[in-house]
Amino acid sequence: RFQLLDNALRYIQSQEEVGQEMRVAVEVEPTMDSQGKVSGVAIQVADNGKGFDPEELSKVFHRGFRGKASANGDIEGSGLGLAITQSFIEQMGGRVLVSNIPEDDEPKGRGGARVVIRLPRA
**3-state class of 66 per DSSP?**
coil
Q: Which residues of the chain have pLDDT under 70?
A: 1-5, 8-21, 67-77, 104-110
Residue-range definition of the domain harbouring residue 80: 1-41+67-108
Q: What is the pLDDT of residue 95?
A: 96
Burial code (b: 16+ CB inside 10 Å, e: under 16) for 91-121 equals eeebebebebbeeeebeeebbbbbbbbbbee
| Domains held by the chain: number | 1
- Tell me if 98 is assigned to some domain: yes
Q: What is the pLDDT of residue 87?
A: 94
- Tell me if 77 is assigned to some domain: yes
Secondary structure element (H or E) that encloses residue 61, with its range: none
Q: What is the pLDDT of residue 119?
A: 95
- Tell me if 54 is assigned to some domain: no
